[in-house]
Amino acid sequence: MSAHLRIETAGPGLTVQDLGRPGLGAQGLSRGGALDRLALFEAAALLRSPEVLAGIEMPGMGGSFTVDAPMRLALTGAPMRATLNGRPLAWHAAHPVQPGDMLKIGPVESGTTGYLTPAGGIATRPVLASRATHLAVRIGSLLEAGTELPVGEDPAPARPPCLIRAEARFDGGVIRVLAGPQTDLFSEAQRAAFAAASFTRGTRSNRQAMQLLTEDHADWHLDAGGLASEPIQAGDLQITGDGTPFMLLAECQTIGGYPRIGSVHPADMARMAQAGNGAVLRFRFTDWDRAEEAWTPESEMIRALAGKVSPLVRDPADIPDLLSYQLVSGVTAGRELD
């Protein structure tokens, strides 16, 4: 009998995500997968899994969850308010849970998207070698209350909780941009205006693209004219018809006609995806030499994360029932040695 992760209540945007379906762009299918891939890498490190596991992506709001077998659950990505049986749980951490426990995950505290990953990985039936829900093309669907997701076996369900030093990426910042095949269509002045402006996430953002709003003078509009549509990918910064930039995300289309001013450096994609309400983003064009230096293969990132995991030491201030613990094994009058 396999184990299950049961969704008791669900926020509005929960989906199963893994690293998606690379290599199918020629057939019109974008890779999809987790918006913040780093969060799934962190979960694998916390759970000591050699494989990157499928987890639940939680944009903005979590839900409540139970299990029918002992297992560890990792909480990564945007920090969210989490409790187990009413007691606060550390984020960027993995915790053992038991049947009968109630895990509640509330709204994000910063960033946009949190992840809940069971140590055995979510074990739904793969479609085209991935379990990722791709909403835009209707592979899989939003998760609803009452769903019982099959979960692989946890090889060490009793392993004590641990923490990971997560890369800070939840408050916007400076984003490195690479010149792409259409950057030269924009004049130097247009590129300079783009690099000088400040942006925040717009409400027309989803898993396909992130809208970028600015109050600065948007002097980078370019008429696409008769340009033939070209291959596009996550990270590309498209300037749409009214001049609003959108950054393409995991579920973007595979070819597109809007001119692209550049592409976000892969190392800054998680920071972009996690820039939530009010986080300010600025773009800086970077040259190829620096871009190369800042690039790390994903396999190496995963290996490096193992070194950032440490045992979770509970702060006594966080233990509400401190007085119920036997903190000292015995007290005597101190005369025994007399």
Partner 1 sequence: MDGFLVRFDSVFTEGANRAARAFGEEARETPGVTEILPALASVQVRFDREVCARPDIAEVLEDLIASRDWLALPEEPATRIWHVPVSFDGADGVGLGRACEQTGLSQEQAVQQILDARPRVIAIGFAPGQPYLGLLPMEWDFPRQTELTKEVPPGALTVAIRQLVLFANPSPTGWLQIARTAFRPFQPEAEDPMPLRAGDMFRFHRISLSEREALTREGGSAGGRLEVLS
Strands 198-201 and 15-17, bridge-based pairing? unpaired
Q: Which of 170, 51, 169 is nearest to 118 (CA)?
A: 51
> Which region among 20-28, 94-102, 150-158, 191-199 touches partner 1 (by CB under 8 A)?
20-28
Residue 267 CB, nearest approach to partner 1 (Å): 9
According to the binding rule CB under 8 A, does residue 290 interact with partner 1?
A: no
Provide the 10 A C-beta neighbour count for residue 99.
13
Subset of 148-207 contacting partner 1 (CB under 8 A): 178, 180-181
Among 128, 192, 195, 301, binds partner 1 (CB under 8 A): 128
Per-residue interface string for the shown chain with partner 1, residues 69-108, x marking contact by CB under 8 A: ----------------------------------------
Mapping DSSP onto H, E and C, the string for 69-126 reads CCEEEEEEECCEEEEECCEECCCCEEEEECCCCCEEEEEECCCCEEEEEECCCECCCC
When the beta carbons of 293 and 336 are compared against partner 1, the nearer one is 293
Subset of 25-54 contacting partner 1 (CB under 8 A): 25-29
Q: With contact defined as beta carbons under 8 Å apart, do 156 and 73 qualify?
A: no
Residue 181 CB, nearest approach to partner 1 (Å): 4
The residues near 275 (Cβ < 8 Å, ≥ 6 apart) are 111, 112, 170, 171, 172, 200, 201, 210, 281
Residue 269 CB, nearest approach to partner 1 (Å): 11
Q: With contact defined as beta carbons under 8 Å apart, do 224 and 259 qualify?
A: yes
Per-residue interface string for the shown chain with partner 1, residues 265-284, x marking contact by CB under 8 A: xx------------------
> Which region among 71-79, 157-165, 276-284, 295-303 touches partner 1 (by CB under 8 A)?
295-303
Residue 255 CB, nearest approach to partner 1 (Å): 4
| Amino acid symbol at 213 | L
The one-character DSSP state at 127 is B
Distance CA 2, CA 14 (A): 22
Distance CA 185, CA 53 (A): 41
Strand partners, 247: 210, 237
Residue 294 CB, nearest approach to partner 1 (Å): 10
Strand partners, 4: 150
Among 255, 304, 306, 322, binds partner 1 (CB under 8 A): 255
State the residues that interact with partner 1 by CB under 8 A: 22-29, 127-128, 136-139, 178, 180-181, 226-231, 233, 253-255, 265-266, 288, 291-292, 295, 297, 299
